[in-house]
Structure 1
Amino acid sequence: MISLRMVGTEVSALGAAALSIPLRFVVERDRFDPGSPYPTPVVLVHGLFGDPTNFLLLRRYLAGHGMRNFAAFSYPPRFDYQRLAPRLGDLIDTICLATGAPEVDLVGHSLGGLIARYLVEMPRPSRVRRLVTLGAPYFATPLPPEELAIFAAGDPFIPPPHPIYGPHSAARQRGGRVVVVPECGHWGLLIHPTVLREAATFLAFPGSTLELAEAPLALDAAS
C-alpha cells in the first residue's frame, strides 16, 4: 500500500540523487585510510541510470561508524550484468593490490546489486567478504551466504520475494539474509534510516557492535 511517507521518501531520494551528481568528481577522489576502525574497502555499485553519488548518504553514515574506505564501480546504462561483473572483479583486484586489503565489501543498488551478486557466484576466487544488495533483481536461486538482501515493501520495480514460497525463503537459504523495509520504495532504499543501520551493522567486523543513535525501526516481511 502506498503511503504519504513512502512517497515523500521516494521524492527526497530522487531529489538528492539529482542534486548530488555535480559532486561525483569529489566522491571519486577519496583516499584510503589504513588506520580506519574498519579498514575493509567498501565498493559501491549504482543501479541502471544511476551514479556513484547516489550513495552519498550511505557513505556518510558508514563513515560515521568507522567505515571510511570507499570505491565506486560506474558503468554506462546497459543490462548485460554478466559482462559487467568481471569488470567489477577486475576493479576489486586493483583495489586490493593498491591498498593491501585481502578482500572488500560490496554494496549494490538495483541492477548494481545483481552485478555484484553475479560476481560473487562466478566460478572464480572471490575477494568479496560481505555483500549488501538494495532492491536487486532476483531469480530462482537462493542467496549466497555472504549476502544481505534488502527490499522495499512498496517497490513497484523489484517487489520483495514471497517469505515462504520465494527463492529467498528461509527454507532455501544458504546463509544469506533478507530484510524488507516497510513504507519504502525503490529509490528510498538509498536513504531510509533502517537501510543505513542494517547495512552498517552487517558490514561491521564479526564480533563488533555499532553504537547506533537511532531507535530501532520495525521490519516486516512482504506477504
Structure 2
Amino acid sequence: MVPLSLLIWIGLETALYLAIARLGLQADWAYAAAGAVGGILGMRAGIVAITWMFGMAFASPAPRLGAGRTARLMLEEYAAFLFTFILVLPFERLWMPADRPRTGQEPILLVHGYGCSRGVWWLLRRRLEAAGHSVASLSLTPPYASLGKLEPLLNARIEALCKATGSSQVQLLAHSMGGLICRSYLARHGRDRVSRLLTLATPHHGTELARLGFGRNAREMEPGSLWLSDMAGEPLNGPTISLRNAYDNYIMPQDNQRLAGARDIELPPVGHLAMLYDRQVATLLIDCCSEGNKTQ
C-alpha cells in the first residue's frame, strides 16, 4: 500500500509542477522538467526542515554539536529522506526481496515506523544477515490506522515466523512507532514468543511532531494521549533495550525515548531516518542482537 501510494503521489506532484511551468509560466519542456525536479526536492527540503525546527524547539538537554556537525547531520537526514521516499519505498520490491529466515535459528523480526513499510530495512537486513543473523520483516497496513489495529499484523507475523523456522521465539527490532506496536503486542500476548525487544528511537512517551501527523496512530503518539497513558502501566517483563537518539528530529522531546525498566543506550548523533543507513548504528544493533542470541 505504501509503495503504490508514494508512486501515485510523486506522479501527481510531478504533473502539477509541469502544468504550472507549462501552462502558467509558459516554460518549454526542459525548463518545466527542471522546475518539477526542483519542486520535488524543495518540498521535501521543507518537510525535513520542519522536523528539525520541531526537534530544536522541544529539544531535551544535550551537548551542543557545533555548527559544522549540525549542518552535516541535517544534510545526511535530508539525503536519507529523499533516498527513502523517492527511490526505496516506491520501488520496494527491487530493494527488498522476500524474507529468507533460516530454519532452526531464532529470527530477528524488523518492525518499521510511521508512514513507512518493510522496505526501510533493506540495508540493515543485509548487514544483519552478513553478521550471521536470521532476519524477517513485515509491512503494517493501513499506514495510518490505530496502533491497536496494527498489532494483530505483528502477532500473525510472529506466529507464522515461528512456525516456518521451528523457533519458539523471535527477537523484535523496531524503529520509531514500531516499538509502540511491539509493546502493544507484549501487553496482549506476553513474552512467550519474544526473547528480547530492541526499540530504535521509539516515542515511548510520545512526540510533539505527531501533532502534525495524519491518522489515528499520529493522535495516539501525541504526548499525554490516552493510548500512551494506558501503555505506560504495562510492565515489560523481560529483556528490553531502548536505543535513544539525543539529537532526533522526529521524536521530541528526545528524552521521550527513555523507557522505564529498559536498558538505555544512547546512539551516536544521527538523524531519525539516517540511522537506518548508518554503519555505527548498524554495528551497535548487531552487537545487541548477537548478545541476545548468546543468552538463549
TM over 0.5: yes
In structure 2, the residue matched to 1:74 is: 140
Distance 1:206 1:155, change over 3 A: closer
Q: What is the identity, as a one-letter code, of the residue corresponding to 1:17?
A: T
Query: TM-score by structure 2 length?
Result: 0.59
In structure 2, the residue matched to 1:130 is: 196
Deviations 1:34-88 (A, max 9, x none): 37xxx22121111111121111121111111101332324322224112211321
**Matched length:** 198
- Determine which of 269, 274, 284 is the counterpart of 1:198: 284
1:91 corresponds to 2:157: yes
Query: TM-score by structure 1 length?
Result: 0.76
SS of match in other structure, 2:134 = coil
In structure 1, the residue matched to 2:100 is: 31
- % identity of equivalent residues: 27
Deviations 1:114-149 (A, max 9, x none): 111221233545311122212211137498342221
Distance 1:87 1:72, change over 3 A: closer
Q: In structure 1, how many angstroms separate the alpha carbons of the residues matched to 2:119 and 2:189?
A: 31
Describe how 1:142-221 pairs up with structure 2 within 5 A.
Answer: 144=236, 145-159=238-252, 160-161=254-255, 168=259, 173-174=260-261, 176-206=262-292, 208=294
Q: In structure 1, how many angstroms separate the alpha carbons of the residues matched to 2:255 and 2:136?
A: 30
Contact in 1 for aligned 2:103/2:166 (Cα 8 Å):
no
Shift in Å, 1:103: 0.8
Shift in Å, 1:196: 1.0
Q: In structure 2, how many angstroms separate the alpha carbons of the residues matched to 1:153 and 1:125?
A: 29
Shift in Å, 1:181: 2.3
Q: Which of the two has higher C-alpha Rg?
A: 2
SS of match in other structure, 1:69 = strand
Q: What is the identity, as a one-letter code, of the residue corresponding to 1:20?
A: V
Q: In structure 1, how many angstroms separate the alpha carbons of the residues matched to 2:267 and 2:258?
A: 18
Distance 1:92 1:177, change over 3 A: same
In structure 2, the residue matched to 1:20 is: 88
Contact in 1 for aligned 2:247/2:270 (Cα 8 Å):
yes
Distance 1:65 1:77, change over 3 A: same
Shift in Å, 1:206: 4.6
Contact in 2 for aligned 1:52/1:73 (Cα 8 Å):
yes
Contact in 1 for aligned 2:176/2:199 (Cα 8 Å):
yes
Between Structure 1 and Structure 2, the one with more helix by share is 2
Q: In structure 1, how many angstroms separate the alpha carbons of the residues matched to 2:264 and 2:248?
A: 15
Distance 1:67 1:207, change over 3 A: closer
Contact in 1 for aligned 2:268/2:280 (Cα 8 Å):
no
Unaligned runs of 5+ in 2: 1-63, 206-228
In structure 1, the residue matched to 2:223 is: none
Shift in Å, 1:25: 6.1
Q: What is the identity, as a one-letter code, of the residue corresponding to 1:34?
A: T
Distance 1:205 1:153, change over 3 A: closer
1:61 corresponds to 2:127: yes
Q: What is the identity, as a one-letter code, of the residue corresponding to 1:76?
A: P
In structure 2, the residue matched to 1:217 is: none
Q: In structure 1, how many angstroms separate the alpha carbons of the residues matched to 2:74 and 2:161?
A: 38
